Structure 1
Amino acid sequence: MQSVPRAKRLPPGPQRRDPQTSAVEIRRSSRRRRTVSAYREGDRTIVLLPARMSEAEEQRWVGVMLDKLAAQESKRMLGDADLAARAELLSEQYLAGRATPNTVRWVTNQNTRWGSCTPAEGSIRLSHRLQGMPEYVLDYVLLHELAHLLVPGHGPSFWRLLDAYPRTERARGYLEGVVAAGRLPHLPEARSE
């Protein structure tokens, strides 16, 4: 597959990511005949197009694919009220309803933590970076913060609370992989002629 990456910035449109934080990379392939696809890769959106497509068609399809991805993502993202309801459900299911936060909300100023908890205030904050991750990962982070309402540190009694959640290790592995991938240098794309 021959690929010609080009980073482009598009003007904001309905339901599009902020163009200041999200670049669109176009990859053209002579093997791709009719189909167009797109996916998120970190803060970039990759759009795969046939090599023969004109600039005008490219612009149209990039817009279509950005809107399609945004619509899919908005269906997966919970609002603060949904997050609070999810926290209540997880507390009931795994902590016998003992963890009752006063507030649960998304925040955009947590870039080194997935979540945080202030037991004295009963507040839980989850990083916006979790949005769009698998549900079991979000549930794990939310449950982790709920457990901090009951046990402030990360001692044995804290981890015993999380033993009830069957996907703890899988979720932790997923998050460790995300962190590790973020540390990798961006390698040039392999090309075959």
Structure 2
Amino acid sequence: MSTEDVEVRRSARRRRTVSARREAGRVVILIPASMSRSEERVWVARMLKKLEAGERRRRPSDTDLLARASDLSARYLGGHARPSSIRWVSNQRSRWGSCTPADGSIRLSDRLRGMPSYVVDYVILHELAHLLVAGHNRDFWTLLRSYPRLERARGFLDGVALAQGLDMADDVDEPDDATGVEDVTVTA
């Protein structure tokens, strides 16, 4: 990252803490006003590394996604779902993800990049479940029931879709009395 992409803001109210965030296409680093220029250089370098590491975790590569999918399959689906590939795509405007069971490929909308990891994990797990069960029937939701953040992730995606005015396709199935789960969310 070049130095013109970084803005350092000094604050007299700040005593010991240093923080960094992205703001309008640049990195803003907040430091105490009392910090020396040499301390500032050290902290800027440290905070840039921390910010980039966090972004890598939230925006995994296609290779990272495949490893993540394998881990999720092992943890929640007994390792039965084995995708051949998983990648980010930019052409999905009416769904968060899709899969092709015939060849085991999974595609994730790039609109998911930067969302909380539990949300991305839910969408990956949702697509992995489709490698095993077509549709959103009782068997499908039974597979997903073990994911501890299932409802939270679905609610998050519903909120994003509503806030952004996205025209997302709804999958509405009959309520499943055995699981208490009803599929009334955007397609993931």
TM bucket, shorter chain: 0.5 to 0.7
Q: Pick one of 126, 141, 149 that aligns with 2:131.
A: 149
Structure 1 residue identity aligned to 2:84: N
Alignment of 1:123 onto 2:117: no
Q: Pick one of 59, 66, 77 that aligns with 1:95.
A: 77
TM-superposition CA deviations, 1:33-58 (whole Å, max 9, x none): xxx98756999x9999xxxxxxxxxx
Distance 1:88 1:111 in 2: 26
Sort the Cα spacing of 1:42 and 1:85 in 2 relative to 1 into closer, same or farther, 3 A: farther
3-state SS, counterpart of residue 102 of structure 2:
coil
TM-score, scaled to structure 2: 0.62
Distance 2:24 2:82 in 1: 33
Alignment of 1:84 onto 2:66: yes
3-state SS, counterpart of residue 183 of structure 1:
coil
Percent of matched pairs sharing the same residue = 62
Distance 1:95 1:122 in 2: 15
Q: Structure 1 regions of 5+ residues with no counterpart? A: 1-11, 14-35, 49-64, 185-193
Corresponding residue of 1:132: 114
Corresponding residue of 2:151: 169
TM-score, scaled to structure 1: 0.61
Sort the Cα spacing of 1:81 and 1:148 in 2 relative to 1 into closer, same or farther, 3 A: same
Are the aligned partners of 2:58 and 2:116 in contact in 1 as well (CA < 8 Å)?
no
